[in-house]
Structure 1
Amino acid sequence: MKRILAFLFLCLALFAQPAAAAPSEAEAARQAAQGVVAEVLGALANRDFQKLASFVGSEGLIVSPYVFLDDNDVRLSRADVERCATDPQMRLWGYKDGSGDPVETTCRRYFDEFVWNADYRKADEVLYNEPRQRGNEINNNHAAAPDGIVVELHIRPQGAHAPMNWKSLRLIFRKSDQGLSLIAFTRDVWTI
């Protein structure tokens, strides 16, 4: 009888043990995207638009000069991204915060000013599916891609103008049967 009770207590103890915690949504997103993020950042750093285009899915790449995504943002096809380095076409990418001046330039210049304006491989903080509202402009990235993975690469403020010189680049991916597709870039900076 004592052996049976001991066996029952052992079984209860085993079943009462909490199951290994499932990874959090942020950790699961990090595990799924970390390698692809490194490759995308490498392509951006090297201005390798051919490689960058290989991550763009059939729906194209939405490019927004600020963190808020809307229907007016430019959508580049995979072929547009491949040609970005040499494409002379001028596009209207949006309007500058504060002045309202049009951001009208080539793809290459746009990427230099609004996408790869810092070495985000050395970001101070990298967040995977962890929404942050950093500035005045509404961050709707997670709402725009609720089934996606939003990766924020944040560079903390430094220097005399510290409260105003922070910046974040957000990469938005969508999961598919073929893996992750890059669907958007947004930039978050101090705005008026």
Structure 2
Amino acid sequence: MKKAVLLLSFLAVVSCKKNPEKFVNDKADSAKASQTEKVQETSVAIDKETALKAANEAVLQALHDKNYKRFSEFIHPEKGVRFSMYAFVSPEGDKLFSKSDFIKYQPTKTIFTWGLLDGSGDPYQSTITDYLIKWAYSKDFATGQVSINEFQGMGNSLNNLKEIYPKADFTENFVKGSESNPEMDWKCLRLVFEPFQGKYYLVGVVNDQWTI
């Protein structure tokens, strides 16, 4: 047994002496491969961030311009888009539109119930257009501070976005409050995106603000 071990050791040494560069190159190739993987991961992360920022900017511009035909192009083809009045996303209570229904009803005066108002508990009812103008884009969020997958607005209502959309990415467009009101009149608009056939589509439009 000892002879066998010694023989294997001897062969390994001889092999190393015959081709020492092979072992060095193996280590170098392994290091290069690891470095390449890190570069690729960084590149993917940068590309993803760029794509999300571009999608966020395009959606905000459509809302700012009241170009709802353009906005509808970002609605997820299969999942549609859910509108949440506050940070707490309610799959049962929030209004969900397929792309076709949004296109059908947006130009009309059809009244929808979007949720319950904080404080009074009264239902908030309006047309799609009024909701987008008076609630979803009640501030010029295009001028706000943008973050990706990070919350800036921290209110006193439960924020369950990540639980409801565990596989999605989101942008947050945060508008600071006024100094005269201890900055408690801040508002933010979160746009929730999921990829589909190589493009990011909206699955959620979530507003948040300080609640009573």
TM-score computed with the length of structure 2 as normaliser: 0.76
Name the CA distance, whole Å, in 1 between partners of 2:187 and 2:44: 24
Deviation of 1:25 after TM superposition, in Å, equals 9.5
Task: List aligned pairs for 1:36-51, cutoff 5 A.
Answer: 36-51=55-70
Structure 2: gaps (5+ residues): 1-19
Task: List aligned pairs for 1:15-164, cutoff 5 A.
Answer: 15=31, 19=35, 22-23=41-42, 29-57=48-76, 58-70=78-90, 71-83=92-104, 85-123=106-144, 125-132=145-152, 134-164=154-184
Name the CA distance, whole Å, in 2 between partners of 1:36 and 1:75: 20
Would you say how many aligned residue pairs link Structure 1 and Structure 2?
A: 187
Q: Is the 8 A contact 2:170 2:191 kept in 1?
A: yes
Name the CA distance, whole Å, in 1 between partners of 2:129 and 2:73: 17
Name the CA distance, whole Å, in 2 between partners of 1:135 and 1:29: 28
Deviation of 1:78 after TM superposition, in Å, equals 1.1
Q: Which residue does the alignment assign to 1:179?
A: 199
1 or 2, which has the higher helix percentage?
2
Deviation of 1:115 after TM superposition, in Å, equals 0.6
**Quick one: structure 1 residues 84 and 190, their matched pair in 2 at CA, closer, same or farther if it must change by over 3 Å?**
farther
Deviation of 1:111 after TM superposition, in Å, equals 1.0
Q: Which residue does the alignment assign to 1:190?
A: 210
In structure 2, the residue corresponding to 1:162 is in which secondary structure? coil
Residue 144 of structure 1 aligns with an amino acid whose one-letter code is: I
Q: Is the 8 A contact 1:49 1:83 kept in 2?
A: no
Name the CA distance, whole Å, in 1 between partners of 2:107 and 2:182: 35
Residue 168 of structure 2 aligns with an amino acid whose one-letter code is: G
Name the CA distance, whole Å, in 1 between partners of 2:162 and 2:43: 16
Q: Deviations over 1:129-185 (max 9, x none)?
A: 124560011111122111111111001111311332101100001112241110110
Deviation of 1:85 after TM superposition, in Å, equals 4.6
- Cα RMSD (Å): 2.8
Q: Which residue does the alignment assign to 2:8?
A: none
Deviation of 1:108 after TM superposition, in Å, equals 1.1
Residue 182 of structure 1 aligns with an amino acid whose one-letter code is: L
Residue 169 of structure 2 aligns with an amino acid whose one-letter code is: I
Residue 32 of structure 1 aligns with an amino acid whose one-letter code is: A
Deviation of 1:84 after TM superposition, in Å, equals 5.2
**Quick one: structure 1 residues 161 and 33, their matched pair in 2 at CA, closer, same or farther if it must change by over 3 Å?**
same
